[in-house]
Amino acid sequence: MKTIDQFNFENKKALIRVDFNVPLDADFNVTDTNRIEAAKPTIIKVLEDGGSAVLMSHLGRPKGQRNPDMSLKHICSKVSEIIGVQVRFVEDCVGEAAEKAVADLRPGDVLLLENLRFHAEEEKGDEGFAQQLSKLGDIYVNDAFGTAHRAHASTTIVAQFFSDKKCFGYLLAKEIDAIEKVMRTGEKPVLAILGGAKVSSKITIIENILDKVDHLIIGGGMTYTFVKAQGGQVGDSICEDDKMDLALDILKQAKAKGVEVHIPVDVVAANAFSNEAETKIVDVAEIPDGWQGLDAGPKTLENFKTVILNSKTILWNGPVGVFEMESFAKGTIAIGNFIEEATKNGAFSLVGGGDSVAAVKQFGFDDKVSYVSTGGGAMLESLEGKTLPGIAAILPE
């Protein structure tokens, strides 16, 4: 794996694909700077070597049209503040203006190109567009894990114009390493905690990781499909009736592979999908009609705690309850606490996938686990066993 550490950028221009697709408020202020901060080490390495950095990113979904609300000029001052260098901005990402702005760069300079997706060719993976981008740097650095699952011009196609002068930035290298630890090199026992609403959205992940894990915790809305498939009463809980055979098949596959599956034994049930609903603790297989399971119960959490604290490698993908409502957040917070404790005791813990990342940030666990992935879709496709095009483009053929 060729990383940025294998290059010296002295008097070189690094064309860096970053993921600055950050949220903005109505006044165009950046409301979450995590992605910019995550790219900082890669940019600083280039500058400290005596090189200059040309940053390219998308923002939002302008669909090939120039949309002033999605211009990257809005984030330029915030990027300057975080990196500690006055970042220049150019109002296009290819063509004469961009090429001139790059030609004017001196060692230590940083240039931010305009939104790649103002050109429809970016998402189409257009080779001519990628070639135009390739003129803007001597070495190509991909540091955008969040878009590594897309075969776009800037994430994948552009790499072919750099022969052996291409590498992973620090962030992307860390993402690859974290997934490798879970999927291949992690210390045993390996545990995957899969939550979320639907079995159907996690089926390819479950099937792929059964060969890699020793324990599998099933939580969240998925629980009820498994429970009903085994003859339990789930009341009004979310359930995919057409996936019950699949749930039974997963349990059968897990048994054959020696994987221990842990399903909730009790739940916090509510008489409405509301924070103000009446609640009670019930056996997971005895949820009355008119009630629905919305969080893991106390016995379940005790069981899960034992499994988590005995694991050496932990993947957490998906909450175990409707954590967005305070009344049903206790289970997800408890899982975070258990993983924090296991991590302190030497386990490697990786959190990935939109909802679980949102949960760890909301409850302050992001610096208490080993690694929080920056890419939702890219992370999920990696766990499904797919080789991401943005990663394959950098690897030697």
- Residues with catalytic function: 35, 198, 354, 377
In terms of phi and psi (left: phi > 0; alpha: psi -120 to 50; beta: otherwise), the region of 220 is: left
β pairing state of 286-287 and 292-296: unpaired
β pairing state of 13-17 and 139-142: parallel
DSSP string covering 339-389:
HHHHHHTT-EEEE-SHHHHHHHHHTT-TTTSSEE-S-HHHHHHHHTTPPPH
8 A C-beta contact, residue 171 and residue 364: no
Distance CA 20, CA 39 (A): 9
Partners of 17 in beta bridges: 56, 142
Neighbours of 212 (CB within 10 A): 18
Q: Write the CA distances from 120 to 21, 96, 98, 145, 153, integer angstroms.
A: 17, 18, 17, 21, 10
286-310 CB burial, b ≥16 within 10 A, e <16: ebeeebbbbbbbeebbebbbebbee
Q: How many CA atoms, within 13 angstroms, populate the side-chain half-sphere of residue 90?
A: 24
DSSP string covering 77-124:
HHHHHHHTS-EEEES-SSSHHHHHHHHT--TT-EEEE--GGGSHHHHH
Distance CA 181, CA 290 (A): 43
8 A C-beta contact, residue 118 and residue 91: no
CA 109 from centroid of its chain's CA atoms: 30
Q: Write the CA distances from 257 to 2, 84, 211, 252, integer angstroms.
A: 35, 52, 7, 9
The dihedral sign for the CA sequence 241, 246, 247, 248: positive
β pairing state of 292-296 and 313-317: unpaired
